[in-house]
Amino acid sequence: MARFELKLPKMGESVAEATITNWLKEVGDKIEADEAVLEIATDKVDSEVPSEVSGILVEQLFGKDDLVQVGQTIAIIETEGGDAPTAIVNNAEETAAPAEAVDPETSGEKTIDAVKETVTTSQDFSGSDKFFSPLVKNIAKEEGISLNELENMSGSGKDGRVTKEDILKYIEDRKTGTVQAPKQVEETTKTVEETPKVTVETPKAVEPVVQKSQQAVPVSVNGGDEIVEMDRMRKLISGYMVASVQTSAHVQSFIEVDVTNIVKWRDKVKAAFEKREGEKLTFTPIMMEAVAKALKDFPGMNISVDGDYIIKKKNINLGMAAALPNGNLIVPVIKNADQLNLVGMAKAVNDLGNRAKAGKLKPDDTQGGTYTVTNVGTFGSVFGTPIINQPQVGILALGAIRKVPAVIETPEGDFIGIRQKMFLSHSYDHRVVDGALGGSFVKRVAEYLEAFDVDRDF
C-alpha cells in the first residue's frame, strides 16, 4: 500500500490560497481517480479539488473553513502498490505518541493555549459593521484576535480596510509588546496564569464571546417570516458593493441606441453561424465588440485607481457580469477582447457563460478585468445604474431591446416607423472620469452599434 499526498493545486498566477468550504469525502471513503474530494473557495470562485489517484481517504489534514496555501498537503489517500512519497504528514503517528508528563511550571501556559483555542473557535465577526476579507478573518481566528481588536485595528487599505499585511504586523507587534491586547483578553490570561491546574473552567471574561456565537438565530414571532443567513458568496458580494459605493463617486450617463440593423442581421445569419461554428450567436458578443473598439478610442476609460495614482491598462480585458443559478453574481473576464473577431468573441462569451452557470470557472477567469459590461436587459430592465467593479472606473449596462415608434429622417422628409431600440447606461467614477469622457465614451459605443454593417460576414 502506498500513501499519496493530495495537495491544493495551483489555481492561477494571482491565487495563493483558498478556504475549504466542504469535504465531499470522509475518512474511510473510497475515491476514484478524478473524483472530487473537497470544495474550496477563493474571494471570487468556488471550485472542487479532484483526486489524481484511486484509493481510500485515510486522513484529512484540514477542516472546514480552514485557510490552505497552494501546494500544501490537504489529505492523504492510500493507494494500491507503488512506493510511498517522502515527507508525508501523519497525524495518526502524532496521536499515537505517548503522553508527556505534566510539568507544573508549564501547565499555566498550556491552559492559556486551551482558552485561546476556545476563544478562537467560537469567534464570530458577522456582527461587525466593517468589511473584513475572508483571509483577514481566518488569520484573526487562527491567532485568537477578537472582534474588538479587529475593529480597532488601523488599516492601510481603501477606506481604512484592514489588509493581510496590517493584521500580520499587528500580530508581530503584539508578540513584541509594542501593542496591547484588549482588556478582555488580558483578564483571561491573568485568570489562567493564577490557576496552576491543567484543567480550568472557562474564565468569566471569555463568556460574552462564547455566548455570542451560541445565540440562537432569531425566530419569527408570527410564524410568517423566514430568516435565512446569507451564503458565503452573497456576503462577499455585499462587501464588494458597499466598498465600491464608499470608494467611487458614481455618476451615470444614458443614451438610446437604434439597433434595428443588428437585430435584422442576427436574425439572418444566426442559423448559419451556429451550423458553421457550433455556437449560438447572441447580442452580447456584438455589444462587447463595440465596447472594445470604444475603449481603444478612449483609453482614459481603460484605467484603474490605486490611492492617488492612476494605472493605465495596456490590455483591454472585458468583464462580463453573469447571473448564477442561485441568484448570485460573478464576473468572468474576456482577456484581450480588442484582439478578437466576432467569432472569437462569441466563443469566449459562450464559454465563460456556460462555465459560470456550471460552477466550473477557474480563479484566473475572474482576474485582470479592466472594464465591465452587464446585461440588465436579460431580465426585462430598460436600463439600470450598475455599481462599478473595483478598482475599475466604469461599467456599462445593456438594456432590453424593444420595438418602439421612432422618427425616421429621410431626404423626402420625416416619418414615424417601428424601430428596435435599447438604452445604454454608463456608470463611471467621477473622481477620475469627467462627464465629457464618460459621455463621449458611451456615445462612441452607440455610434459603432448604429453603424453596424448589415452586409458583413461573421
- Residues 6 or more apart whose CB falls under 8 angstroms from that of 166 comprise 153, 154, 155, 156, 157
- Closest by alpha carbon to 453, among 191, 262, 222, 241? 262
Q: Please report where in the chains the cell 447572441 appears, as a residue.
A: 282
Task: Look up residue 440 and give its three cell numbers.
Answer: 463621449
Of residues 355 and 324, the one with the higher pLDDT is 355
Using an 8 Å Cβ cutoff, are 373 and 395 in contact?
Answer: yes
- Closest by alpha carbon to 8, among 55, 66, 58? 66
Using an 8 Å Cβ cutoff, are 139 and 167 in contact?
Answer: yes
- What values do phi and psi take at 454, rounded to 5? -75, -10
- Closest by alpha carbon to 186, among 144, 222, 150? 144
Rounded Cα–Cα distance for residues 355 and 74 (Å): 26
Lowest mean pLDDT among 180-184, 287-291, 379-383: 180-184
Report for 33-47, 111-125, 144-158, 284-298: range of highest mean pLDDT: 284-298
Whole-number average pLDDT of the chain: 81
Using an 8 Å Cβ cutoff, are 392 and 306 in contact?
Answer: no
Is pTM beyond 0.75 here? no
Of residues 405 and 357, the one with the higher pLDDT is 405
Rounded Cα–Cα distance for residues 57 and 37 (Å): 9
Of residues 17 and 247, the one with the higher pLDDT is 247
Q: Give pLDDT, residue 398.
A: 97
Residue 234: pLDDT band (50, 70, 90) is: confident
Rounded Cα–Cα distance for residues 406 and 419 (Å): 6
For the annotated catalytic residues, the residue numbers are: 430, 434
The sign of the dihedral angle between the CA atoms of 252, 258, 260, 266 is: negative
Using an 8 Å Cβ cutoff, are 37 and 49 in contact?
Answer: yes
As a whole number, mean pLDDT of residues 73-87 equals: 70
- Residues 6 or more apart whose CB falls under 8 angstroms from that of 299 comprise 312
Domains and their CATH numbers in the chain: 2-96 (2.40.50.100), 104-214 (no CATH), 249-450 (3.30.559.10)
Q: pLDDT tens digits, residue range 118-136? A: 444 446 665 566 666 666 7
Q: Give pLDDT, residue 265.
A: 97
Type of residue at 347: K
Q: Give pLDDT, residue 198.
A: 42
User: Which parts of 85-182 fold into alpha helices (H)?
Assistant: 91-96, 104-121, 134-142, 147-152, 164-176
Type of residue at 190: K
Task: Look up residue 169 and give its three cell numbers.
Answer: 504586523
Lowest mean pLDDT among 151-160, 224-233, 316-325, 367-376: 151-160
User: Would you say how long the chain is, in residues?
Assistant: 458
